[in-house]
Structure 1
């Protein structure tokens, strides 16, 4: 089993859209996939199973009173299950810190899923925190969507520094450009000449497109309602590149 996370210190960069679409595409390719929505906004889970919500059991699971599998619900999509977010996730960082047994607490929770799933996808909240540290320690790869801008690059470098300082294996970071507007000179310049800090930059980029916002209207992943759209093809290319780079099969 592989575990990947979609993460950015900044919000509004297309993180959840990428996480949901890649999880759907992974399941569609035949991989048993679990999507864990760690973001208290709960958008990822809402796209996949809008009628499902968390059952309030997370703190009991952190205390080892019930198995982590009690959090899992099904989605309408074959081979794709979900751990939905819930309002209590706003305090998840505090809860994890209180019950943490070192940096591997989240990894320990995820480990039993290896019996049933080939892939776990984490959609993470935008923060540098105890939870982020747990995520970095638990994953095989951290996918970081970046809008081609100076502030977005600065936030990425802050994450690199955070991981290096805590010896969390910053080489597992895989940035990719998101919400790219090719009409903008700054976007074109950073795409054509990315800075040296963007090591392991993925070749696939996700364009800025109104159809991505329709995921909220449709309450579905993009490939589910627009399988032939050019943006869907870009997400499919992104997933294929991630799978190849990380060794997911």
Structure 2
């Protein structure tokens, strides 16, 4: 079982759209995938199945051992794609993790999935917290959306320093450009020299596009909603890069 996370310390940068589309594209290739929506706002759950179809369960029952993780899973939202939807109680995840002594809570919670799941995708809230640290510890790779602006690049640099300082494995971090608007000079300039801007290669450049916003309106991943768009092609490029990261020899 491989574990990846989509994370950014900044909100509103296209993290959830990337997580949802990656999960769907992986499942389409027969990779048994679980998307865990760790963000209490529940955007992944909404994008995948609409606000009314997928309901989460209280976090306390999972962390207290009252319910196994299997009871939190909604199976086959699409073929080979399961979801653990968010719940408002996930806002207390950090508090619960701080109360644990062994520091392996998230790792232990995920362990029972290894027999039936090939890929776990964690859609993380935009915070620097104990939950963030545990995600960075357990994930094989962490995919970070970066808007091509100086402010977003500064956040990317701060994240790298945080990971280095905590010795969490800076090589796990894999950036990609998100919400790229080629009508803007700065965006075009940064997109033209991605490795210079980020310090490492970018896996993709997801455009700023109204069709991505329609995912929420329609409750569908982009590959189902508008597969022939530039945005859908860039999400496919992102998935191909992730697949190479995880399974190439």
Normalised by the length of structure 1, the TM-score is 0.94
CA offset at residue 87 of structure 1?
0.9
8 Å contact 2:175–2:203 — kept in the other structure?
Answer: no
Aligned to 1:26: 26
Aligned to 1:4: 4
Aligned to 1:52: 54
Aligned to 1:99: 100
CA offset at residue 123 of structure 1?
0.3
Aligned-residue Cα RMSD (Å) equals 1.7
Aligned to 1:162: 162
2: distance between equivalents of 1:107 and 1:199?
Answer: 30
Aligned to 1:78: 79
Q: 1:248 to 1:85 in 2, by over 3 A?
A: farther
CA offset at residue 227 of structure 1?
2.1
**CA deviation map 1:137-167 (0-9, x unaligned):** 0100000000001110111111111111111
8 Å contact 2:6–2:123 — kept in the other structure?
Answer: yes
CA offset at residue 204 of structure 1?
1.7
1: distance between equivalents of 2:177 and 2:101?
Answer: 33
CA offset at residue 100 of structure 1?
5.2
**CA deviation map 1:91-120 (0-9, x unaligned):** 221122223522x32122112211101100
8 Å contact 1:63–1:99 — kept in the other structure?
Answer: no
CA offset at residue 195 of structure 1?
6.0
Greater displacement, 199-208 / 146-155: 199-208
8 Å contact 1:202–1:241 — kept in the other structure?
Answer: no
Aligned residues: 247
- The answer for unaligned runs of 5 or more in structure 2 is none
Aligned to 1:185: 185
CA offset at residue 62 of structure 1?
1.6
2: distance between equivalents of 1:144 and 1:248?
Answer: 20
Question: Aligned to 1:49, what secondary structure does the other structure show?
Answer: helix
1: distance between equivalents of 2:83 and 2:239?
Answer: 19
8 Å contact 1:4–1:143 — kept in the other structure?
Answer: yes
| 1:120-139 aligned within 5 A | 120-139=120-139
